[in-house]
Amino acid sequence: MQAVGLITEYNPLHNGHRYHLQRAKQLTGADCVVVVMSGNWLQRGEPAILDKWTRSKLALENGADLVVELPVFYATQPAHLFAEGGIRLLSALGCTSVVFGAEHPDLDFKRLTAEIEGHQDAFSHYNATYATQFNAALKAATGVTLTAANDMLSFCYYTANQALAHPMQLYPIQRQQADHATPTITTGKAYASGTAIRQAAFAQDWPAIAPVVPSDTLTALKSQRLQRWRDFWPLLHYQLLTVDVAHSGQYDQMAEGLEYRMQAMAQQATDFDNFMHLVKSKRYTYTRLQRVATAALLQLTQQEVQAAQAAPYLRLLGFTPKGQAYLHQVKKQLPLPLYTKINQDLRQHALNLDYRAGRVYELINGQSQDLYRRPWRMPAISVDQPELS
């Protein structure tokens, strides 16, 4: 069996994602679709609207065969580390190809990657700090800038893939949805941005959402508690007001001096949005600040995140019969440990950061996220909704 890999968040899974799942299999002819999906905390530094178990089940119901969690120490990182984590896990699972959406799939990402070879340290520095400087460096080296979010990710996928001993075949495809930041759902359209869908879901505008998501996603949104930063603000606020600034300076992605600004603004802030507004400056993007806020909330230090990135693993969230057969085929050759549940030992050691992230999330979600949770074992599924084009 041959497998194609996807790196996803599904926040929540919508028609654009469903098209991605369909197109990946069509484009590559793969027998199995393997999804690496962020857990309960996402790349933009925010909680997922639905928990990882609900989102993995939706993926399996809409075309995925195997779902593996992207650990929190990769999922909440800048684009180059997020991409590195996803590519590394898909390679470990034996995928021969990766399909991902881009705003401009006709860009020669492979050429761009080759042209910056030898400048990786500088690019990693820029990517970890300021998108503006990163693009300035990229333009100086290649003559191209990447301002769209998924074009940047595409570039990072190519860079991470080229670092593998045996690179996979990469296929960028045109994203079938509205621009990421588009705030509204357009009547009569089958696609909408995740941003627009989340806003409509919080407003319980179900008629607007129904045409742009699979029916099971709509059911999940209507029936489950939906998470956002507003819910976690009291927990973050408490951390910022009580933790010594010398300790908060050790949080992952915390820049020198930012811990003092965050602590000072926490004294004035009335809610999370107000806090972000007070902390924001020209030096930091909102996304960067949200990722630092996530690290503060989860008490993730730079030292432990970097140690965890040096020892990744495969955490199985669910599979179909086809996914189970593929896993049986490759499991003896897996170069990384495979975990199907978190027990007392793993929660204290190898999977400590994901367990910690899950425990904080379930304080609001109310559902156990890790301890003794077993992967979904889905029956053979016939996707009963029409194919999207």
Q: Is it the case that residue 383 has pLDDT exceeding 80? A: no
CATH of region 3-223+308-377: 3.40.50.620
Domain ranges of the chain: 3-223+308-377, 229-303
pLDDT in tens, 254-308: 988 999 999 999 999 999 999 999 999 988 899 999 999 999 999 999 999 999 9
Q: Is it the case that residue 2 has pLDDT exceeding 70? A: yes
Q: Is it the case that residue 232 has pLDDT exceeding 80? A: yes
* 93 annotated binding-site participant: no
* 17 annotated binding-site participant: yes
**pLDDT value at residue 126:** 46
Nearest CA-CA partner of 352 in 72, 75, 43, 83 = 72
* 12 annotated binding-site participant: yes
* 343 annotated binding-site participant: no
Q: Is it the case that residue 364 has pLDDT exceeding 70? A: yes
* Beta strands 314-319; 66-70: pairing state: antiparallel
Taking residues 355-373, report their average pLDDT. Answer: 95
* 9 annotated binding-site participant: yes
* 11 annotated binding-site participant: yes
Q: Is it the case that residue 45 has pLDDT exceeding 90? A: yes
Taking residues 218-222, report their average pLDDT. Answer: 98
The one-letter amino acid at 150: N
Q: Is it the case that residue 169 has pLDDT exceeding 50? A: yes
**pLDDT value at residue 123:** 52
pLDDT in tens, 280-294: 998 889 999 999 999
* 228 annotated binding-site participant: no
**pLDDT value at residue 157:** 94
* 47 annotated binding-site participant: no
pLDDT in tens, 77-105: 999 999 999 999 999 999 999 999 887 77
* 125 annotated binding-site participant: no
Q: What average pLDDT does the structure give for the chain?
A: 90
Taking residues 56-65, report their average pLDDT. Answer: 98
* 13 annotated binding-site participant: yes
Taking residues 50-68, report their average pLDDT. Answer: 98
* 238 annotated binding-site participant: no
Taking residues 45-73, report their average pLDDT. Answer: 98
* 20 annotated binding-site participant: yes
* 10 annotated binding-site participant: yes
pLDDT above 90: percentage of residues in the chain:
76
* 166 annotated binding-site participant: no
* 118 annotated binding-site participant: no
* 183 annotated binding-site participant: no
Taking residues 215-239, report their average pLDDT. Answer: 98
- Res. 388 pLDDT band, cuts 50 70 90: low
Q: Is it the case that residue 386 has pLDDT exceeding 60? A: no
* 150 annotated binding-site participant: yes
